[in-house]
Structure 1
């Protein structure tokens, strides 16, 4: 087997094009009936900022990460954290069927579920630790397997309400991991200080169209600057600036979908006065420009399938 360090500098940074820009995911099936198996040449590493779940429905799949080499069989599930280098290959001559599910998990948290973002943000708890849960708890693995297959089937059918079904399945998957993890994450969530930050979170929501500074929020909570920024990141799993930008872009998405404001008006409404900065932040969160986002969503509303095209 090729050593881990031999080609680690040659990692392909993969851009994930979402099948639906509001669901922030891509899910598809890979299959091979060829008798050929084993590591290809060259056997390349790749990574992406989205979390990836792998589900094997038939055959054997080998996966190598910087920490381990694993072989999955039918019914197995594995999660790969954000930007984690990995590579795979067909492990036997038998047919192989696998579901690849890539998702930006943080986009599926709203204000009511934000206290649990830290569990999945990977700042404190690497997501690959959930793989031990799949190995040690067959019931959890089977439920995760079923939920991911449900997401795949809904993405194929695109029946009315499929977005609701997919969102519900994603939340059930997160809940499954949260409630069955062996670590005492519930105690951490209770002590994470969200209640103390509530005035700050409310202030951000109420002043998104204005300039928001750390100093304003610090004075609101009567905390020092340095203590506040550390406290906020520990409690929320995301920095203060990133959280404010996240909320601004979520508001911009709503304005683009529900109104006829110009791009400049939308940018100003969410408190970003620099258009270049607005476009940069929007594309960082959605992998497309505001205009492309609006066109895609209008196309979807009219019944035309979304095209998975590069921006």
Structure 2
């Protein structure tokens, strides 16, 4: 699973719109969609246009044959047969067939947060992405052969059960999903012991939804307090306890994530992006963006352009060899 954070394909198009892909669940009660894609023709490389997309569901990519290239805002990765990659909720990405040989892959999209009951609710926030990124699990999948093989087999099992639809297939799928979550959790080298208390996110859900729907507008603590029918002081303390960061920091985080998606499209000025993300003060926007990305919005955009030149050089070297 080679990965280079400074690498991207040659036709990186920063003017592409990022499509919000609406996932239609194959079984609404299981909150998932899983299918196999086969590219058996010799043609490979980046399509034109090569479009970005995102969806609110988490996505697992499993390669069963050939090579798949995937680009996110942070890295360009080549997946080979047996590899598994996890894409977080709302993470912009795009893929293409990387080599001439046939490419077979399984795409598994799922709302992980729906697969926790009262007995396992204490672990919900470790997979909800509201307080913890899912990216460390990719490092685990890359470095641990046992975890990668286990995840690969479980996702193939989920796919096969969804296709056969034998009696009890729903139970088999739910069991495999829980086994997959347990596999990731048990093998994570981070200290998660202190992060397993009931996070209370379900109680905050109306507030979190309100924030998502009104990011371009002015959002106040008082607005959200009225939705939850909580006092100002209780709410700010409760929010910090549950989310691990203050209400203001959470809103700013969501706004910068939206700005990142808009920067990938390239058809808005940085000022317009700032306004679209709900930040009217440009100085504040630059300050917040640099806090979360360690670079300015302009540098963020330039980094994507620079990736194109690096990939051009690598492909030219391969042709010479």
Classify the secondary structure of the residue corresponding to 1:7: coil
| Corresponding position of 1:231 | 241
8 Å CA contact 2:123–2:198 kept in 1: the answer is no
8 Å CA contact 1:215–1:225 kept in 2: the answer is no
Q: Matches of 2:136 and 2:21 in 1, distance apart?
A: 23
8 Å CA contact 2:60–2:107 kept in 1: the answer is yes
Cα RMSD (Å) of the superposition? 2.3
Q: 1:234 Cα shift? A: 4.2
Q: Does 1:78 align with 2:82?
A: no
User: 1:35-94: per-residue Cα shift (whole Å, max 9, x none)?
Assistant: 100111111111100000000000010001100000011000000000101111111110
The structure-2 alpha-carbon separation of the partners of 1:111 and 1:34, relative to structure 1 and needing over 3 Å to count, comes to same
User: 1:198-247: per-residue Cα shift (whole Å, max 9, x none)?
Assistant: xx99xxxxxxxxxx98557x8xxxx9332123323449xxxxxxxxxxxx
Q: Matches of 1:72 and 1:26 in 2, distance apart?
A: 21
User: 1:154-201: per-residue Cα shift (whole Å, max 9, x none)?
Assistant: 000000100000000000000111111111112321xx366xx7xx99
The structure-2 alpha-carbon separation of the partners of 1:79 and 1:57, relative to structure 1 and needing over 3 Å to count, comes to same
8 Å CA contact 1:37–1:89 kept in 2: the answer is yes
Q: Matches of 1:81 and 1:59 in 2, distance apart?
A: 24
Q: 1:124 Cα shift? A: 2.4
Aligned length: 213
For residue 45 of structure 2, the aligned residue among 33, 38, 47 is: 38
TM-score normalised over the length of structure 2? 0.62
TM-score normalised over the length of structure 1? 0.64
8 Å CA contact 2:131–2:243 kept in 1: the answer is no
Unaligned runs of 5+ in 1: 202-211, 236-311
The structure-2 alpha-carbon separation of the partners of 1:91 and 1:45, relative to structure 1 and needing over 3 Å to count, comes to same
Classify the secondary structure of the residue corresponding to 2:37: strand
| Corresponding position of 1:245 | none
| Corresponding position of 1:92 | 99
For residue 106 of structure 1, the aligned residue among 94, 113, 117 is: 113
Q: Which has the higher contact order (CA 8 A, sep 6+)?
A: 2
8 Å CA contact 2:130–2:243 kept in 1: the answer is no
User: 1:3-25: per-residue Cα shift (whole Å, max 9, x none)?
Assistant: 76x42661011000000000000
8 Å CA contact 1:50–1:102 kept in 2: the answer is yes
| Corresponding position of 1:179 | 186
| Corresponding position of 1:119 | 126
For residue 131 of structure 1, the aligned residue among 138, 142, 146 is: 138
Q: Matches of 1:164 and 1:150 in 2, distance apart?
A: 12
Q: Does 1:156 align with 2:163?
A: yes
| Corresponding position of 2:307 | none
Q: Matches of 1:147 and 1:134 in 2, distance apart?
A: 13
The structure-2 alpha-carbon separation of the partners of 1:8 and 1:131, relative to structure 1 and needing over 3 Å to count, comes to farther
The structure-2 alpha-carbon separation of the partners of 1:119 and 1:42, relative to structure 1 and needing over 3 Å to count, comes to same
Classify the secondary structure of the residue corresponding to 1:92: coil
The structure-2 alpha-carbon separation of the partners of 1:193 and 1:24, relative to structure 1 and needing over 3 Å to count, comes to closer
